[in-house]
Each structure stands twice: as structure tokens, then as C-alpha cells.
């Protein structure tokens, strides 16, 4: 069985997030001072997690966040960050660089609701989901390839895996005892990969929606519907464990350990938790 950890983090705040201006793909803003503090706090929160791979959107706000998080890590400071356009924010077309209120007005004029409304030149939700699906399948293939390589090197009888989940200590504070015991028992603690992904709010919400609706992701017992549909705060952290029985890419078993976790932002400032603009 192939088993890998997947940690997904939203980028830190930019000045456009604070001012509620849509960035999408066409506005490539750097992190603000607050955004860098958020990224540093996320890095400290994840500092004992031994990642094997790091992927980031190729937009500047995500790249700076990924670099800052790795800079705080005790194990992975020199790990290469791989940039992937499939992790970019949803494209908002003519609405990019304009206030969120303008997008809502466009949607209202078209007789539609946000976020399902697609402005001219923007991506539909289905197109964003297809990007997310394609990238997730790539991660599954990566993990299967690593497990097969491990078996080829050491034989099927040897213990495979490159990272132990007991190093991922932050999750113990944000899920139930039952979820921990079911996921962390015995030899299953060994992960074939432990992957960090840095991306964007609307993209992440769509990706998680794909996990839940298409792949029947198991959710934390205390998660509410409003939490599930909310956009992650800047540097919100979500963690998943993905299992592929017999390397079957078509039927991944996904467990969400925590969703949009933001306790690391408590000392950064209350304004950091509230920003929901993409």
C-alpha cells in the first residue's frame, strides 16, 4: 500500500488581500509585511515536519510563502521548491485588479451568485477543478513511483517509506483521538512521501471540494458545513493522509486531518485571520 502525507497551505497576505482586490493570475503581488509574518508563523508551526517534496504555485505570493516556510524548517531548508502553474489561483479575467464588490456586481447583473459566476476571460469552476484533479493525480503517481523504487532497491520485504508521520506533531492538536489512532497505528506510520503544497484560496477551496464530492474524503468529525465551504485564511494549513491500495491510482482513500488550521496566527494579529479575498 502506498501512503503519503499532503499538507496544503494558502499563501500569506498581500496588500490586495487586505484591500479586498481580486488578484487571480494576472496581478502578481508580493507578500506584505503582515504576509511575511504569517508565512514565518506557518513555518514555525511546520518546523518539525520532515517534508520530502515541496510544490508551489508559480505566482510570487505563493513562491515567497513557500520559501519562508522552508526557511524555518529544521529538516528541509535546502529542499528544492518546484513551481507548477497547475497550482495557480483561479483566473478572474476582467475582474482581476478590481475590488471584490465589482465581481459581486457582475454576478448580480448576470443573475448568478459568487463564486460560481465566471467573469469574461476567467476560468469556470470546472476548469479550476480539472487543474486540481490533474495535479493530484500527478502527486499520486509520484508517490507510487517512489514506493516502487524503494521496493526495487531493497526488496518487497523491507520497510519502505521516507518519512515517519510521528514527526508531524502539529496535527495532534487539531483532530480527534480516534482519527489519530486510526491513522497512526503500527507500521502505517511510515509514509512513502510527505508533500507540502503552497497555493491559493479559491483554488484550494475547489480542490478540497473535489476531494469531498468526487473522492469521498473522510472529514474531521467536528467540521461544520460552513467551515468546509469557507476560503482558507492566509497561511491556513490543511493536512491530508492519502492511501492507495495496491498502488491503485483510481481509488485513493483520503483522510482530512485538519482543514484551514490557523492557530499559528494568534500571535501575528487578529487582522491576519480575517482575509478571505483571493
Given 11, 53, 200, 239, which residue is catalytic? 11
Q: Is 89 a known active-site residue? A: yes
Given 89, 96, 123, 165, which residue is catalytic? 89
**Which residue has cell 495557480?**
88
DSSP bridge partners of 3? 243
Are 193 and 52 a contacting pair, CB within 8 Å? yes
The Cα–Cα gap between 199 and 8 comes to: 7
Q: Give binding residues for substrate as ranges.
A: 10-17, 61, 89-92
Nearest to 241 by CA among 173, 164, 186: 164
The C-alpha cell at 55 is: 510544490
**Which residue has cell 461544520?**
224
The Cα–Cα gap between 237 and 232 comes to: 8
Q: Give binding residues as ranges.
A: 10-17, 61, 89-92
Residue 219 neighbours by CB distance under 10 Å = 18
Q: Is 11 a known active-site residue? A: yes
Q: Which residues are catalytic?
A: 11, 89
Amino acid at each position: 500500500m502506498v501512503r503519503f502525507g499532503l499538507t496544503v497551505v494558502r499563501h500569506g497576505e498581500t496588500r490586495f488581500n487586505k484591500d479586498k482586490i481580486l488578484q487571480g493570475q494576472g496581478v502578481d503581488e508580493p507578500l506584505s509585511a503582515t504576509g511575511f509574518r504569517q508565512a514565518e508563523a506557518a513555518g514555525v508551526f511546520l518546523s518539525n515536519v520532515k517534508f520530502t517534496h515541496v510544490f508551489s504555485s508559480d505566482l510570487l505570493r505563493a513562491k515567497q510563502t513557500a520559501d519562508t516556510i522552508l526557511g524555518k524548517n529544521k529538516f528541509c531548508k535546502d529542499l528544492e521548491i518546484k513551481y507548477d502553474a497547475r497550482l495557480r489561483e483561479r483566473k478572474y479575467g476582467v475582474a482581476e485588479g478590481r475590488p471584490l464588490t465589482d465581481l459581486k456586481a457582475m454576478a448580480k447583473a448576470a443573475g448568478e451568485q459568487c463564486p460560481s459566476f465566471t467573469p469574461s476571460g476567467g476560468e469556470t469552476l470546472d476548469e479550476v477543478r480539472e487543474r486540481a484533479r490533474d495535479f493530484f493525480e500527478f502527486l499520486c503517481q509520484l508517490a507510487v513511483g517512489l514506493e516502487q523504487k524503494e521496493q526495487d532497491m531493497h526488496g518487497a520485504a523491507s520497510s519502505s517509506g521516507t518519512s515517519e508521520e510521528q514527526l508531524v506533531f502539529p496535527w495532534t492538536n487539531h483532530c480527534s483521538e480516534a482519527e489519530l489512532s486510526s491513522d497512526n497505528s503500527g507500521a502505517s506510520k511510515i509514509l512513502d512521501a510527505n508533500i507540502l503544497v503552497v497555493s491559493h484560496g479559491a483554488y484550494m477551496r475547489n480542490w478540497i471540494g473535489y476531494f469531498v464530492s468526487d473522492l469521498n474524503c473522510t472529514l474531521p468529525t467536528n467540521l461544520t458545513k460552513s467551515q468546509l465551504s469557507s476560503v482558507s485564511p492566509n497561511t491556513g494549513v490543511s493536512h491530508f493522509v492519502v492511501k492507495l491500495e495496491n498502488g491503485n491510482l483510481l481509488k485513493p482513500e483520503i483522510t482530512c486531518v485538519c482543514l484551514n488550521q490557523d492557530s499559528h496566527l494568534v500571535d501575528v494579529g487578529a487582522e491576519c485571520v480575517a482575509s478571505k479575498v483571493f
